[in-house]
Structure 1
């Protein structure tokens, strides 16, 4: 077999025993050697036929980045209308302008209606009412733009919707509905605001479209892989996958396609299915793994979203006086879910936005570990937006990992300080430095499509803690560039129980690499977000960005 030797101006290995190199030898998709030209040449007799690949000789190579919390329906959303506040680039590179006021939102809806057949629903995404402040966006606002067909706008958090009167009627959401999350106006009629999964499911059912189920389509997975690879990602999660029969088949098919550019780690959603059935389903796919597909994760949804005012906070709750948020399942049901899946040996990935949610889930995990001790379980709390120091000490003692939604600091930091949490609590928003000080395994993530997929941007936010307006939020929680790079490579790999295969460039691991135009370790933290991904390499195969 041929051995390919990649050269670079610098190789960042994330291996503390050999932090830097200039050459990597790859054979059969795995790393055969790492070093410099001389050390590689000394192995020539054991390398067989050698092919030198010098196309990256003037660039930087680092481990392929690992996105430990994102969603594959990123690959489906661009079929629908974008109504987000910030400009956003789609997988093909087109930039969609953000929507900053009500009139612009209505105008984009009107134009969309003109391009669709009569009566066909308009499905849009990316909207976040928190950026509209005192402007009320309700069914009347949408009716004024489009009233002859259902309009369903999925919020950027994916924990809420705003729908028009036609959509309310189509979903049967009358004033006396018993579905929690259908918000009513002063007259007792549905306002058009729909919150959390149970109520959203009723809308999805009426449309015959569920964005979360789109991950069952091969084209969604292919487009998601393309978007991830463009961002330098070689391993990505799909952290809310229903694992339907169709979806499992699509995952197997697409990940075995020669040109598919990433490794996929789906986490089965545990909500909305009987516990026994879910445990059996997760166990049944354990033998379907391949080199680019890894089953075994189970996703638990506790509370909601901070900007949607549905996350569960400890007293004094939201800074602006809004009451506490919502549970996606009651604490009693969450206890049953966690205990059953933990006892069955599943690897839990647990959504916990608010500090009350963190507290409840730590209590539940402690009970599970006391009843069914498991060594090196690596259960991971995700988001952990304002976890406190006492909770971090507990997490360390329980062997729990944390994966923080660092991008929130940039995109919603100003709103956190002014509206959601207030100044003091915002200082510990996504407290990466404290997580590391407590010795807790750390990953950081985008939650794409909630925020754009791009680990180097996530690293920039973790290092600078700058909001969109340029304010620094929580300077004592900044981490170094090296720590941030660890969190998007070997740290994230550890939380997925894949650090023996990916996350660093070492002999025996998959030859997964990201090729950059600048050295992030010598760059100013401010410049991390401007570093360009030239290409990715998956198992030695080059995928151009």
Structure 2
């Protein structure tokens, strides 16, 4: 074997590969892992080999974010967008008020503004925006307030006019422009097809080059991420992403999912891209967000002050965005052509609907390695995980809900039976399913180590433990943030573990997670991130 370009030694190594459980050194040549083992790896040292002394730090595979939205999250760097998320800049209603007022005072006259991240459940006391209140606030300026889940936005009259929307505009399939009893638009718009119709005119001018996406990639690398998805990719993003990779400014591999359309139109051939960037699937939605009351459940929301503030009536149940027939037609339009499908679903009733569609398509068009996906899976039951696993379906779980919204789920929305059992992680593993964790950024920022901590402890921010029987081990949680997440993205053959032949997509942590209390995992620092052996971030 030729000499190595670099050798890592001097610290613990987590390979996430049972064939190489506890190596003392890792060699990299030509951007790929060439040897994993003990002192014999040091024999690959040559006169130009870079010896990287970990100095007790921990080497492991780079983190994989299986469900995120980098081409949406990049807009937070835009001059037209102001971050008011409760998990970042505005934990309270008062802070939202202050941020909005400061932004309006500083903005050029007439310039449109999108305030991203309002959450009435966490920012208690902030009144729900209305078209009239935003008209008064904007005084002719287009203003949009985007709910933190991304499934709802409130727009004023100037924003609706800029988007060319009025009471005669038909609702797009899967989305809604809310109207009052006279057919006048209220300013509330639900779900991606409708929300994007409102925000796109404002963001279009901001997204003419790859600069914002380059900043987003740098942020991902600083969090130890080496591979991510884009779960709502649009054709208008192709020139931007292409420029990013052509200019050599990308720091993360991407696997993207184009947003589905009712007619099954795709702008991409099935054979496309390379190991750095490739479209692999199609995204569809069954229902919406638990935080706005439109997930398709068999059980009702609680009657609480919080649900009243959301405008949910007594015994409220959510609903699906599509009929079963519409869902099946969307799957039928794409799956037979070879595409992987990834479906957003939270409610248990919605899970049954999409599993029915998946089972029907697999019966007609069997495929040995389809890796059909379900996304988020908040209220999914153990029986549904077993059924999904038998169909070969894999799930990506929004485990961060437990930390940030755990108390809300139990006290405000669903009670202990359904709220505490949100995201049944161990039930999924008990069903022999390979799972991943995600943050659904920009809902919450990419925090792989917090995800791992939440899966092990199931603790909310107040320390409440939700359904302790659903806790999993550190080993299981690490797989969900590395190799099994890469599996969902059809990339486990090239990354996700420290295995000879795979790319040297690695992260150096300041501490060994195995020697760290689970509650303290989120505080572990990222020392260096490598993509194909090249540093993309270093402290």
Fold conserved between structures, TM > 0.5: yes
Equivalent position to 1:492, from 485, 490, 514: 485
Q: CA deviation at 1:328?
A: 3.7
Is 1:274 aligned with 2:263?
yes
Q: Which residue of the partner structure matches residue 296 of structure 2?
A: 312
Equivalent position to 2:214, from 196, 211, 222: 222
In 2 relative to 1, CA 470–501 (structure 1 residues): closer, same or farther, beyond 3 Å? same
Contact 2:340 2:370 (C-alpha < 8 Å) held by counterparts: yes
Contact 1:8 1:60 (C-alpha < 8 Å) held by counterparts: no
Contact 2:75 2:203 (C-alpha < 8 Å) held by counterparts: no
Q: CA deviation at 1:426?
A: 1.6
Equivalent position to 2:234, from 227, 242, 246: 242
* Correspondence 1:285-434 to 2 at 5 A: 286-287=271-272, 289-316=273-300, 320=307, 321=314, 323-434=316-427
Equivalent position SS for 1:297: strand
Structure 1: segments with no counterpart, 5+ residues: 89-96
Q: CA deviation at 1:492?
A: 0.3
Equivalent position SS for 1:265: strand
How far apart in 2 are the matches of 1:297 and 1:176?
Answer: 34
Q: Which residue of the partner structure matches residue 523 of structure 1?
A: 516
How far apart in 1 are the matches of 2:197 and 2:226?
Answer: 36
Contact 2:28 2:504 (C-alpha < 8 Å) held by counterparts: yes
Contact 1:8 1:61 (C-alpha < 8 Å) held by counterparts: no
> C-alpha deviations, 1:334-364, integer Å up to 9, x for none?
1111123221111111111221221111000
How far apart in 1 are the matches of 2:157 and 2:194?
Answer: 15
Contact 1:138 1:191 (C-alpha < 8 Å) held by counterparts: no
> C-alpha deviations, 1:158-188, integer Å up to 9, x for none?
1111233443455565567653633456897
How far apart in 2 are the matches of 1:512 and 1:298?
Answer: 26
More deviation in 291-300 or 405-414? Answer: 291-300
In 2 relative to 1, CA 147–82 (structure 1 residues): closer, same or farther, beyond 3 Å? same
How far apart in 2 are the matches of 1:538 and 1:424?
Answer: 43
How far apart in 2 are the matches of 1:426 and 1:472?
Answer: 12
In 2 relative to 1, CA 171–498 (structure 1 residues): closer, same or farther, beyond 3 Å? closer
How far apart in 2 are the matches of 1:217 and 1:366?
Answer: 41
More deviation in 72-81 or 193-202? Answer: 193-202
| TM-score, normalising length: structure 2 | 0.90
Is 1:131 aligned with 2:122?
yes
Equivalent position to 1:474, from 462, 467, 472: 467
* Correspondence 1:120-199 to 2 at 5 A: 120-133=111-124, 135-139=126-130, 140-168=132-160, 170-171=162-163, 179=171, 181-183=176-178, 190-199=185-194
Q: Which residue of the partner structure matches residue 94 of structure 1?
A: none
Equivalent position SS for 1:342: helix
More deviation in 13-22 or 184-193? Answer: 184-193
Q: CA deviation at 1:382?
A: 0.8
Q: Which residue of the partner structure matches residue 93 of structure 1?
A: none
Q: CA deviation at 1:144?
A: 4.8
How far apart in 2 are the matches of 1:260 and 1:423?
Answer: 44
Equivalent position SS for 1:529: helix
In 2 relative to 1, CA 23–256 (structure 1 residues): closer, same or farther, beyond 3 Å? farther
Q: CA deviation at 1:3?
A: 2.6
Q: Which residue of the partner structure matches residue 91 of structure 1?
A: none
| TM-score, normalising length: structure 1 | 0.89
Equivalent position to 2:28, from 14, 22, 26: 26
In 2 relative to 1, CA 235–8 (structure 1 residues): closer, same or farther, beyond 3 Å? farther
Corresponding pairs, count? 520
Is 1:82 aligned with 2:83?
yes
Q: CA deviation at 1:111?
A: 2.2
Q: What value does the CA root-mean-square deviation take over the aligned residues?
A: 2.5
Structure 2: segments with no counterpart, 5+ residues: 308-313
Q: CA deviation at 1:515?
A: 0.5
Contact 1:147 1:165 (C-alpha < 8 Å) held by counterparts: no
Q: Which residue of the partner structure matches residue 9 of structure 1?
A: 11
Q: Which residue of the partner structure matches residue 203 of structure 2?
A: 209
* Correspondence 1:40-59 to 2 at 5 A: 40-42=41-43, 44=44, 50-59=48-57
Equivalent position SS for 2:343: strand
> C-alpha deviations, 1:308-350, integer Å up to 9, x for none?
2122112335665463334343332211111232211111111
Is 1:263 aligned with 2:245?
no
Contact 1:255 1:264 (C-alpha < 8 Å) held by counterparts: no
> C-alpha deviations, 1:56-83, integer Å up to 9, x for none?
3331100011100001122222321111
How far apart in 2 are the matches of 1:34 and 1:465?
Answer: 34
Equivalent position SS for 2:492: coil
More deviation in 115-124 or 362-371? Answer: 115-124
